[in-house]
Structure 1
Amino acid sequence: MISKQKFTVIGIIVLFISSFLYAQISSQETGSIRGIVKDNEGAPLPGVAITVKGPSLMGQATDVTRENGTFRILLLPPGKYTVTAELPGFKTATLENVEVRLGMTISVNITMSPETLAEEITVVGEAPVVDVKSSKTQQIYKSDLIQNIPIGRSLQSVITLTPGTVSSTNVKGGTAANNTYRIDGLNANDPCQQQLDIPIDFNLFEEVEIVTGGMPAEVGGTSGAYVNVVTKSGGNEFSGMVQSYFINEDLTTIVLPQEELTALGLSKPNAPIYDYDFSGNFGGPIIKDRIWFYLNGRYGADKYNTGFIPFTSPYDGTYYDTFHRKSHNWGAFMKLTFQLSKSVKLALMGNARQTYRNTRASGWNMPFDCHYHDDPWANYAATGVLTWLIDSNTYLEVRGGYTKVDAMLTLVRPELTTVPYMYDYYTGYYFGTGYRPNEWTGRPKKQFSVGLTRFLDNLMGGDHELKVGFEMLFGGDSWAVWKENPIWWPWYNGSPYYYRSLYGTRTWGDGWLGLAVFGTTKEGNMAQGEFFKYGGYLQDSVTFNNRLTVNLGIRFDHVKGNIPEVYKNRTGGDIAYQLGEVFLKPVYGINPYDEIRQEGVDGIIKWFTWDPRIGITYDVFGNGKTALKLHWGKYSDNIYVSIFERVHPLRFHYYYFSWWDDNGNGRPDPLGLDSYAFIPSWGTPTGMLRENWLIGIGEGIKAPYDNQFVIGLDQEIVRDFKIGLSFLYKHKKNIIDDVPYDIETGEYWYNPHESPGNKYWIPFTTTVPAVGDDFPSTTVNMWFLSNDAPRNWIYQVQNVLEAFRKYWAFELSFEKRMSNGWQLGGSVNYSKTWGNIHGGYGDIHATSGAADDANWFVNNGGRTNEDRPIVIKLFGSFNLPLGILGSFYYQYSSGTPWARGVTVVPPSGWAAANNVDVYSTYWVNLELQGTRRYYDWQNLDLRLEKYFIIPNLGRLGVYVDIFNALGHHYIDVDQNPGGTWMPVDNNTSEGTYAISGTYKKITGISGLTRRFQLSVRFSF
């Protein structure tokens, strides 16, 4: 295992070695100014003293022009600057309002005239809107934009402004694990699931850069969006802001009359009873130009109606009424910036957030106490960045940080720990305790990086920006799951007997039960995993004749994952332990419901990746206003704990048993009162034996990766306004998931088209009946599992060769920066996302269901769930008369793709004749995914703000946000007849079809409310 001491020693050694290298981790929260100074006849002027000042900069930055008249100012925080050029015998030239943006190099040209009188020439700098150096596709959102448009107060809401985003985690064909988050230059992905783990307050954002294509080699593990956030740092003047927002029932209107809701069988919509937030920022100098500080605190609380539709539990007659979902949260942030010397700068940041929720229950079908609650979900972070400007051409950066997720998620009512989890497969309702027991998760992460930047001009005909970097990251996850009652008990249409009610027979049992493998205390069942990653890159950005820039880079990463010692106490109740002793231990050598102790393993997964990148950017007319960009790159996925924690023997899972209620009391009882039979085709505890889970990660497993190609053109139309046209193509390969693996032969057997799978999957053809005019009868070829299939098998995590995801998009984007009292942004994205594995949150843990059985191959390869052919976004703000600011945010997207499917039950006679397992029923797509779509979606949010200038104090703003201003609402109806098809034989349309109980049922209405949110903010 990796010790803290070892991690620290490695970090010190790498820092020492790297300080002698021309290496770099590019400054990820700054920009730079490059320029050339000439006389009025066009000759370059050497020896000109360049000075740059601005409120975002401690002190001033200086340089002296070289023989060719060029200069370079590095490590400038985003903001506006004044550039002054001085040379004896020439008039002093000053450029004002030169705007530096995150990750961009600003090019300026200065002309100096011979001095005739002591005078100074001052001009207003023109901020470039086109980046003619970088090959990346990026959007930069400044605080003056995101603070002044009606969006949610979170980083996720900012991400949705980006062209082509389906959600904040699904960006341009990427999966929910493909975004990389950076806060002040430090990685902000949680080590278990790659989600954001540093939730900072919205008011702290200085700038947010979102890169969706053409990422350079310094960016690793990103095939979705690279989200780079710079927080505020204070300044030489005290400044701050106090803000609150508030909404309640009186400020919420329901767009449908109550009588219509009642007629539709719906309860109150998911609307706020109250929702408020208070936050405050304050920053300034402790010592001017030497030490700055910035502080933030926030508190918020809310109470919402839910869309739950009341019902009575068939288990014990409990009436589940409507309920309110409540939460409250607090956060604190501190940042200190030290100018230790003229060339050395240190920034330290700490952030904490805790959120409490009374329940996670949601939807029309989940009662209040059928889920856990947050008590609390907490995030903590501490980071530091040291920057040393060695000379005008070289700088060193060292970064380190620690983050942790600490989440206590316990049952809403602790006394329900003895009650089974129940779900009615016909009505769709949860009851009892729901599917989540008590849980706790802890996700610590340490990181370290170091590097240098070196600029070399006039080398081999070009100006070079050389970059080499090295970084290390240690991440872990501990996931505890516990409850007294481990039973999952499925019902059907109000009956406790699933099989008897659905099939009208007791042949396979009155019903079936799932028995969870977990302990009875937090310490008594904890799945743990950890990984160590180190990587680096070499990159050269070389510009020829100030027109053509070639960006070359290569990145490597090495990752190793470990599983610590395993311990579980005995599972609660009598039934699970008893069935494990009788049915499982004699056959598989383990009772998963008994106490378990096993050794861990070091290096259960390892991979090494090389990712080359090449980009070309050409300044078409040489005026910095038109850039043609080409980029190709390979982007390997990051490893995260949930991928290899999949094989942990204590990972939350079930084993399944047929159940006969011999005593007729309608309740599962121990053996002797009731009868049971194990269902091995649904999973066996073979994989819990240490010798088997050690091979749960396939030999030679490789990192998934994307090949990406981008071509784009950016054009400045007029000052402060640009448009962009681009085409992006992605193809993801080496996709990882779990697949059936025969331990005895070492073979995979999920593919029915090749050996050995074609021996274990028996082909079957059936015609599923029509349902109305929209769903004609459909003949489908599928497979059922043979009784000769391997018995000694596990699900092994491996690259699924047949799995793929592809994406292409044509995109038009535009940006008008704030000037002349207005700003505007937007995009139109026309795309296609297709493949045979989806990319949502549930699909990123190597347990998506892909390649679990042969029927994955039936009608796969269509549009994925994230496919939205047309996505439109438009936003902006405008200064109106009387000191009023107006703004809006409009979104449109195509509907979610879907396809008709059905669960097919093997005919008993045919199954017996063909040696087929009768317990294995399969969901089969009857048509290609994407054959059908749900409704298109659009939304318009508005804001009106009135501001007042208070002399000698600051500015007071009062505004109202109108969310869903046009009242667009969408009826959510289960359009898939789904259900269960029970044919009488092979190659026939005869049989019994039980259509889904939720077919054509209205499950809710989205967009049912129009909300008016009031806010007050005072800034100084």
Structure 2
Amino acid sequence: MSYRSQSPNVIYASRMAATVIFCACLSITSAAQVSITGKIAGTITDPSGAAVPNASVSVSGPALMAARSMHTQPDGTYLFDLLPPGTYSITTNAPGFRTVQQTGVIITAGFTATINSRLVVGQVNETLNVAAGSSTVDLQNVQSETTFDQNLLQDIPGGRDPWSTVAQMPGVTLTTFDVGGNQSMQQSTMQVHGSTPGEQIFSWNGLDLNWPGANGGYTQFYTNHDSLEEFQVVADNAPSAVSISGIYMNMVTKSGSNTLHGQAAGYYATAATQASPKLPTFNGTPVNSGSPIFLDRDTTASLGGPLIKNKWWLFGSYRRYDVDLSILTVRDQAGNPVQDINHQTNTDLRSDWQLGQKNRLSFVWLYNSQNRFFRRDTAYQFVTAEASWRQIEPAYILQALWTSQITNNFLLDVRTGYNKEVFPLGYQPTVTPTDFTRQDLTLSTETGAAPFSFANPSWVFKITAGASWYKGALAGSHNFKFGWEWGDSYNPYVYKINGGINAQYTNGVPTDVVAFDTPFTEKTYFHDSSFYVQDAWTLKRRVTLNLGLRYDRYISFYPKQSSSPDLTFPDLFPPQTFPASGNLVEWNNVSPRVGVAFDVTGKGTSVLRFGYGRYYKMEGTQLVEQVNPVGFAGQGYTWNDANGDGIPQVSEWKNAANFLFAFGGTSTHIDPNMSRPYSDELNVTYEKQLWRDLRVSAAYYYRTKKNLVGLKNLAQPAAAYEPVSGFTNGLTGQPLTLFNLSTAAPSPNILLTNISELNDNSYHGLEFDAVKRLSKKWQLLTGFTIQRQKGTVCCPGITGLTDDALFGDDFNDPNKDINRRNNYLNQDATYVFKVDSTYEFPWKIGTSVNFQHYTGFPF
């Protein structure tokens, strides 16, 4: 959204545009490839503790179609990379020693299990079977992550969507609070350990396929919870393969197996199964709040198995999800809460081929239809059903995945994906082309038809290739990773308005007509590419250095654009053609990642981690959309309803004598020297396995952000304002000085640039976590976070939950500086406490808890 010309209707125009952007963004990048697999690493020694080189080690398990094998390095080390989540067995043999088979090795996405083996003298044909033990502490990686396996995904009560799942993770805050699924149809903005709110990637099988609009941090695909094998969240100390330092959600889809398996499930809730909402009070009067469910019905079915054992697996699933809510804050004129009717369907298919012993090829097709039948314009208090929007939103994802074991120590991983969605805000089926929007500014009603029809047919294409090479006995062992990524993203906005007008009234009396430059299509693109290298260098078996470097390139532009040949009012809005912009934003950045993991005791049960990284802020199309010349423009006219029918005829308003105002065009331009915002993050963590599968950790997090972006009105510099005293600050009670422009305000000249004042910010956090895998009939995920984030705030009194000062701010206006500095930032909840746990009683009776406590966000 760009700044528009100052007119009597600028509030109306800004309100409409802001509503459009808000609806588009929250119903909905930088590329990143994160591991959808895990590793098993270890050292093979003889009874004296000396390394056994060239020993044969193999890994097998239900998630592998074909067993994999390798020989140990001269220092006795080995590594199996690119292992799908599952349970594995490790078999080791060497001449003069008994064969050792270690079972029960659990691998999750991104986890490295350290499985060492001390061989026993004997014959190779003698096999020693041992339980591998519970390897719960990752001794090599430094990234902070939480993995929701099937036990957590299925047994912890929640909304069965990405946002309510991430909400269970220690330290994470969200802008919505889901209760039993009542927020499942609306996205949430997430933050963790001082990250930028909304810096979040929805990764499918390790491939970022976010919606390209806004900052690139929202999704255009709603999930089928039961189609996921694992849901991995990377939050801090991400390796160089990951671009961001916010919420990286890696959703690994289920596959077939060598046995036929399936699942059918149903979930049902009504108003009778929930407590009545407890309303807040203001001055002793209850205030309507909340969105209780009056119907929640979720049904899923899935089936997977082999077409050819060890060669070809298939998996498919289907979901139908209905959520109907009462919106207590939005009432009809009779005082009844309006109903929000929603349903979602998903179809998911996956096919996996094993091509020989060393190649695996997978194809994934995911389809989602997200339907919300009565979305209302928030600018008016009373919006009738026919004036609401109908959202019938189809989306699909296509993916191809190839992994290849080139040699025993060199593996290749190639992925490509395409995500297409059409996000609509359409007219209701009962609305005809002659129906128009009736807006009563006094009664705060909107009737007749929605204010516009909108579509966002966006798409994103990504391709990435990565390689993993393992080399031992080179001043320690090394796991080198390097890769390349490229993405192409397109984000158009298509607007139409019945009759090209909105009619406005006061207490039912016609007052004016606003005419628009519709139909039009606004188009914006961005391309992103990157290259990364990473080495996990293990020294003397107890110290692992994680050394990484990442290069990112981002460009954004708009193409050549022309007015529609079907303009409703070409005489008011003459057709125009705008040339292609060229690269309006072009960034090339290099970011280091450094980490150290130290096995404190040498027993593999405790680790001390240190991590530092620079992370450049993710970006979508929002910057170039600020300056795109195609967008809403309009003119307002007095409406003389001569025949008294309440329907605006062209002859009743469209003449020069009735002209009131005009708005439209853009006065914003981008600083060609604007640098990309980034954050520097530092983390220290101590983690210890206390007992069997139970591990605890304590961590300190620090973060600061630089080169943040904002707006300056160059036509009104700070020197153009003069002080006016005699006011009192309502927050502090101290004298307050306000400022007036010393001269008449000229037309705005808005510069989008880096704002040095926003460099003043810091985050400090302490977190204590405990995690236990499901064993002995119980599991646990809990965390307590103490945090503080302060600094200079953007958009004071307007947004409050973002680092981007892109809307409604002006760093040349001294009035905006009041209460701006030393402020609480973003979603800064001082204390966050969460407990997720299940326990199975006798007779297979299970109980579970999902408890979350947050102190309030900054006001």
**Normalised by the size of structure 1, how large is the TM-score?**
0.72
**Whole-Å Cα distance in 2 between the matches of residues 596 and 673 of structure 1?**
22
State the 1:241 CA deviation. 0.3
User: Does 1:254 find its partner at 2:276?
Assistant: yes
* 3-state secondary structure, aligned to 1:359: strand
Deviation of the 1:795 alpha carbon: 2.8
Residue 303 of structure 1: aligned partner: 324
| Preserved CA contact (<8 Å) 1:353 1:380 | yes
CA distance in 2, matches of 1:735, 1:490: 40
2:533 corresponds to: 538
Shift of 1:678: 4.4
Aligned to 2:682: 709
Computing the radius of gyration over CA atoms, which structure comes out larger, 1 or 2?
1
**How far apart, CA to CA, are the structure 2 residues paired with 1:776 and 1:845?**
27
Aligned to 2:189: 169
**Structure 1 pair 858–676 and aligned structure 2 pair: CA distance change class (3 A):** farther
Structure 2 vs 1, CA of residues 664 and 146 (structure 1 numbering), >3 Å: closer, same or farther? same
Give the secondary-structure state (helix, strand or coil) at the position aligned to 1:803: helix
Asked whether 1:82 is paired with 2:66, we answer no
Q: Which letter maps to 1:836?
A: V
- Distance in 2, matches of 1:256 and 1:562, equals 49
- Between the aligned partners of 2:500 and 2:755, the Cα distance in structure 1 is 32
Q: Which moved more, 1:775-784 or 1:234-243?
A: 775-784
Q: Hey, what's the Cα distance between the residues in 2 that align with 1:491 and 1:616? A: 67
Which secondary structure does the structure 1 equivalent of 2:168 belong to?
coil
> Shift of residue 822 of structure 1?
0.6
Q: Does 1:401 align with 2:408?
A: no
Match of 1:33 among 40, 45, 56: 40
Partner of 1:479: 493
Aligned AA (2:412): L
The CA deviation at 1:432 is 4.1
The 8 Å contact of residues 826 and 874 in structure 1, kept in 2 or not, is answered as: yes
Quote the Cα distance in structure 2 between the aligned partners of 1:629 and 1:871.
23
The 3 A distance-change label for structure 1 pair 488 and 817 is same
Q: CA RMSD in A?
A: 3.6
Moved more, 821-830 or 480-489: 480-489
Do 1:659 and 1:676's aligned partners in 2 also have CA atoms closer than 8 Å?
Answer: yes
Q: Deviation at 1:242? A: 0.7
Tell me which moved more, 245-254 or 120-129: 245-254
Q: Does the 8 Å contact 2:156/2:837 carry over to 1?
A: yes
Q: Is the 8 A contact 2:542 2:599 kept in 1?
A: yes
Residue in 2 aligned with 1:446? 461
Identity of paired residues, percent? 22
Amino acid at match of 1:419: T
User: 1:315-464 maps to which residues of 2 (within 5 A)?
Assistant: 322-361=337-376, 365-369=381-385, 372-412=388-428, 414=431, 418-423=436-441, 429-432=444-447, 437-459=452-474, 461-464=475-478
Structure 2 letter corresponding to 1:531: F
Distance apart, 1:610 and its partner CA: 1.3
State the partner residue of 1:780. Answer: 736
Q: Is the 8 A contact 1:308 1:362 kept in 2?
A: no
Question: Does residue 653 of structure 2 align to residue 670 of structure 1?
Answer: yes
Return the letter of the residue paired with 2:296.
Answer: D
- Check 1:86–1:642 CA distance in 2 against 1; reply closer, same or farther (3 A cut): same
Q: 1:371 to 1:112 in 2, by over 3 A?
A: farther
Q: Residue 514 and residue 611 in structure 1: after superposition, are their counterparts in 2 closer, same or farther (change >3 A)? A: farther
Q: Find 1:765's aligned residue among 725, 728, 749.
A: 725
> Partner amino acid for 2:710?
D
- What is the match of residue 123 of structure 1? 130
Q: Which residue of 1 aligns with 2:819?
A: 859
Aligned equivalents of 2:449 and 2:273: distance in 1?
Answer: 33
Deviation per CA, 1:912-965: give whole Å up to 9, x if none. Answer: xxxxxxxxxxxxxxxxxxxxxxxxxxxxxxxxxxxxxxxxxxxxxxxxxxxxxx
Q: Indicate which of 586, 594, 603 corresponds to 1:606.
A: 586
Superposed CA offset, 1:518-575 (max 9, x none): 40xxxx311110111221112222111111222121111112212123233499888x
Would the alpha carbon gap of residues 240 and 607 (structure 1) be closer, same or farther in structure 2, given more than 3 Å must change? same
The 3 A distance-change label for structure 1 pair 181 and 355 is closer
- For 1:255 and 1:685, locate their aligned partners in 2 and report how far apart those are by CA, in whole Å: 44
Distance 1:440 1:685 in 2: 20
Distance 2:303 2:165 in 1: 23
Summarize the Cα distance change of 1:733–1:68 in structure 2 as closer, same or farther, 3 Å threshold: closer
> In the alignment, what sits opposite 1:829?
785
**Equivalent position to 1:817, from 756, 763, 773:** 773
Cα contact 1:407–1:441 (8 A) shared by 2: yes
Q: Does structure 1 retain, via aligned residues, the 8 Å contact 2:383–2:447?
A: no
Deviation (angstroms), 1:606: 1.2
CA contact (8 A) 1:550 1:617 kept: yes
Contact kept? 2:517, 2:634, Cα under 8 Å: no
Separation in 2 of the partners of 1:464 and 1:778? Answer: 62
Please report how far the alpha carbon of residue 104 of structure 1 lies from its aligned counterpart in structure 2 after TM superposition.
1.8
How has the CA–CA distance of structure 1 residues 438 and 890 changed in structure 2, closer, same or farther, with 3 Å as cutoff?
same
User: Secondary structure of the equivalent of 1:414?
Assistant: coil
* Contact 1:347–1:386 (CA under 8 A) maintained in structure 2: yes
Describe how 1:188-337 pairs up with structure 2 within 5 A.
188-193=209-214, 194=216, 195-220=218-243, 222-254=244-276, 270-308=291-329, 310=331, 312=333, 322-337=337-352
Shift of the 451–667 alpha-carbon distance from structure 1 to 2, 3 Å rule, reads same
Count matched residues.
799
Q: Distance in 2 between the 1:649 and 1:626 partners?
A: 58
Structure 2 segments unaligned to the other structure (5+ residues): 1-30, 175-187
Conservation of the 8 A alpha-carbon contact between 2:412 and 2:467: yes
Give the Å deviation of 1:54: 0.9
Structure 1 Cα separation of the partners of residues 331 and 106 of structure 2: 57
Correspondence 1:646 to 2:621: no
The yes-or-no answer on 1:527 pairing with 2:486 is no
- Structure 1, unmatched stretches of 5+, are 1-23, 313-318, 498-510, 582-590, 743-748, 750-756, 899-1020
The 2-side partners of 1:705 and 1:653 are apart by: 35
Partners in 2 of 1:529 and 1:451 — Cα distance?
29
Question: AA paired with 1:759?
Answer: A
Change (3 A) 1:157 1:727: same
Secondary structure at the counterpart of residue 351 of structure 1 = strand
Q: Could you tell me how far 1:456 is from its partner in structure 2? A: 2.1
Structure 2: distance between partners of 1:644 and 1:67: 55
